[in-house]
């Protein structure tokens, strides 16, 4: 029962009812108005009982309280008049009556709006704290391989470690696909300081950088997976802490992290001066993310794999039409490289040191040629220093010109250690960079909104971990260079078409070039 929200209104009702009860009977319209006030007050109490705002017992108690108070007031007034010999004619000024009626009306209306009386579509309060969102994307994708590509069998050995002799990687046969992506998410406001969210999507548990589902499965059904599940706390305006499986907490582009990648672990973001009038507002993000949990034993000597990261950044409003954002991040992978088999005994004691998730590009070595032939692992360590910058020029509002730049360097690469694991030495390839210019609306939301972009990427073999890099450029991974161009147009509210062309070749090594064409229809809700 919501009686605690009714105290101000109950007090007004008691006062009005007491006033009506305290006035003795008299002739004329004055008494009729008082009777109307009394009847109205009693009707309001009955309505509140019907709505469940008050129980019948509480309503009866209010009536008895009002009658008792009115009787006490009438008796006291009569005694005072008898003692003084005064004959009193009760009179309530019209302005007072109007004030009582208006106060009761306002409080009843406010209560009715708050609790949605008479609204057949009214829902419980907790439902208002939930927010659903989702999107569906239909895609045509063409994978067009360069004529001069080497055959897939030549990519099996070091330093590639792709496919196998019986199932080589495709390097020559063009592919046409229809694909779908569907995502449904829920965010919940638990309290003013705590929220939670989860999202389900198409895809599978073997590919962390894609939620696409290729059509053509003999009309069979497709699976849904849990893509996000996290809790976020904001104890103060300048601090937010997230834990679980969460969206990428870092300011970045798809040079280092694929757009579909989510992070497992905990992260905290500090935003001092967020509500100040400073033109420059810094932000800081730190996080720890488990990549692979290993149950170490006498026959499994591998250790847990982790990513620890930190980023410092600045949002700078240069003027009314120019906004900059900078971010300098350090991503340090722990125990990420594979261990070489130290003893030929028919058992590879470091099998869990091999990172099974990968795309292509990183330097690989055969970890146990005798005890576990054909198994390849990462030869290098990865500690990434990443500088990202973007500037949004809104001088031609609503059209924006957005310039992005991104540079990454693997400062954890040890050339001597890496080549010691390989049958033939390799040169260090640890630098990546990307530039992009976008013209049009910052995001497509309404009919007629449009956007066009052009960019160039150069991502060397061991600049980043290929497992988590963009999955579209050269069909995923590193050791790639080339350009990409595309655009989007709003067909209706929250629905748009887009097209993208990505042309990429290898930076070094065996020839492996791919052009990718993507045409999408997108709808979000």
pLDDT tens series, the chain, 525 aa: 444 444 555 666 666 666 555 555 444 555 666 666 677 777 776 777 776 666 777 777 777 777 777 677 767 776 766 666 655 555 566 666 677 778 777 777 777 666 666 665 666 777 888 999 999 999 999 999 999 999 999 999 999 999 999 999 999 999 999 999 999 999 999 999 999 999 999 999 999 999 999 999 999 999 999 999 999 999 999 999 999 999 999 999 999 999 999 999 999 999 998 777 888 999 999 999 999 999 999 888 999 999 999 999 999 999 999 999 999 999 999 999 999 998 888 889 999 999 999 999 999 999 999 999 999 999 999 999 999 999 999 999 999 999 999 999 999 999 999 999 999 999 999 999 999 999 999 999 999 999 999 999 999 999 999 999 999 999 999 999 999 999 999 999 999 999 999 999 999 999 999 999 999 999 999
The reply to whether omega before 398 is within 30° of 0 (cis) is: yes
Residue found by looking up tokens 């969102």 in the block: 133
d(CA 108, CA 9): 7
Contact 282, 314 (CB under 8 A): yes
Question: Are 504 and 473 a contacting pair, CB within 8 Å?
Answer: yes
Q: What's the DSSP call for residue 165?
A: S
Print burial letters for 224-248: b (CB count within 10 Å at least 16), e (below 16).
Answer: eeebbebbbbbeeeeebebebbbbb
| DSSP state letter for 220 | -
Q: Which two tokens stand for residue 13?
A: 């009702």
d(CA 425, CA 417): 10
Q: Is the dihedral of CA 453, 180, 444, 442 positive or negative?
A: negative
All structural domains of the chain: 3-122 (no CATH), 127-292+302-339+349-524 (2.40.160.10)
C-alpha span between 350 and 343 (Å, rounded) = 11
Tokens matching residue 464: 């980043």
Measured at the alpha carbon of residue 237, what is the angle toward residues 232 and 239, in degrees to the nearest 5? 55
Q: Among residues 443, 459, 347, which one has the least CA distance to residue 392?
A: 443
Q: Which residue from 66, 85, 86, 88 is spatially nearest to 21, judged by alpha carbons?
A: 66
pTM exceeds 0.75: yes
> 407 — alpha (psi -120 to 50), left (phi > 0) or beta?
beta
Pairing of strands 262-270, 364-366: unpaired
* C-alpha separations of 142 from 175, 181, 499 in Å: 6, 16, 12
What sections of 51-148 are H helices per DSSP? 56-84, 94-115
Rg (CA), the chain: 35
SS3 242: strand
Closest by CA position to 434, among listed 411, 463, 395: 463
For 176, the token pair is 């046409």
Residue 187 neighbours by CB under 8 Å, 6+ apart? 130, 131, 133, 195, 196, 197
Residue 333's beta-bridge partner residues?
Answer: 307
Give CA 258 to chain center in angstroms. Answer: 15
Q: What is the number of residues in the chain?
A: 525
Burial label for 202, CB within 10 Å (0-12, 13-18, 19+), is buried
- Distance CA(114)–CA(5), nearest Å, equals 10
């Amino acid at each position: 029962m919501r009686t605690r929200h009714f105290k101000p209104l109950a007090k007004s009702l008691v006062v009005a009812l007491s006033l009506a009860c305290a006035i003795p009977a008299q002739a004329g319209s004055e008494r009729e108005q008082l009777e109307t006030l009394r009847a109205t007050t009693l009707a309001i109490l009955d309505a509140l009982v019907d709505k469940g705002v008050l129980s019948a017992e509480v309503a009866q108690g209010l009536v008895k309280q009002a009658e008792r108070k009115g009787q006490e007031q009438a008796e006291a007034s009569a005694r005072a008049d008898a003692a003084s010999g005064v004959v009193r004619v009760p009179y309530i000024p019209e302005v007072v009556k109007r004030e009582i009626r208006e106060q009761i009306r306002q409080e009843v209306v406010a209560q009715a709006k708050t609790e949605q009386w008479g609204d057949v579509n009214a829902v419980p309060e907790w439902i208002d704290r939930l927010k659903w969102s989702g999107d569906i994307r239909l895609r045509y994708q063409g994978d067009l391989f360069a004529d001069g590509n080497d055959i897939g069998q030549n990519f099996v050995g070091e330093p590639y470690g792709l496919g196998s002799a019986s199932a080589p990687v495709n390097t020559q046969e063009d592919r046409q696909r229809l694909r779908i992506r569907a995502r449904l998410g829920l965010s919940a406001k638990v309290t003013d300081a705590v929220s939670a969210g989860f999202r389900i999507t198409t895809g599978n548990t073997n590919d962390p950088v894609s939620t696409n589902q290729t059509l053509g499965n003999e009309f069979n059904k497709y699976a849904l997976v849990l893509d996000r599940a996290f809790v976020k706390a904001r104890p103060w305006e300048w601090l937010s802490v997230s834990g679980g499986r969460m969206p990428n907490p870092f300011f970045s582009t798809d040079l280092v992290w694929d757009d579909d990648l989510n992070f497992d672990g905990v992260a905290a973001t500090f935003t001092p001066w967020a509500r100040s009038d400073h033109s420059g507002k810094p932000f800081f993000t730190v996080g720890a993310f488990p990549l692979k949990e290993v149950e170490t034993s006498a026959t499994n000597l591998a250790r847990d794999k982790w990513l620890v990261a930190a980023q410092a950044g600045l949002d700078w409003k240069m003027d009314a039409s120019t906004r900059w954002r900078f971010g300098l991040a350090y991503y340090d992978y722990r125990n990420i490289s594979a261990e070489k088999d130290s003893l030929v005994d028919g058992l590879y004691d470091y099998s869990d040191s091999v990172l099974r998730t990968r795309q292509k590009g990183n330097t690989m070595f055969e970890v146990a040629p005798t005890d576990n032939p054909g198994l390849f692992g990462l030869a290098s360590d990865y500690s990434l220093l990443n500088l990202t910058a973007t500037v949004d020029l809104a001088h031609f509002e609503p059209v924006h010109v957005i310039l992005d730049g991104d540079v990454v360097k693997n400062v954890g690469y040890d050339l001597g250690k890496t080549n010691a694991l390989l049958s033939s030495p390799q040169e260090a390839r640890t630098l990546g960079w990307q530039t992009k210019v976008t013209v049009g609306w910052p995001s497509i939301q309404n009919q007629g909104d449009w956007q066009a972009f052009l960019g160039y990427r150069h991502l060397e073999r061991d600049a980043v971990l290929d497992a988590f890099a963009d999955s579209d450029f050269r069909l995923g991974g590193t050791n790639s260079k080339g350009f990409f161009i595309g655009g989007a147009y709003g067909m209706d509210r929250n629905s748009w078409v887009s097209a993208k062309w990505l042309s990429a070749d290898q930076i070094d090594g065996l020839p492996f070039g791919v052009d990718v064409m993507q045409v999408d229809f997108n709808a979000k809700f």
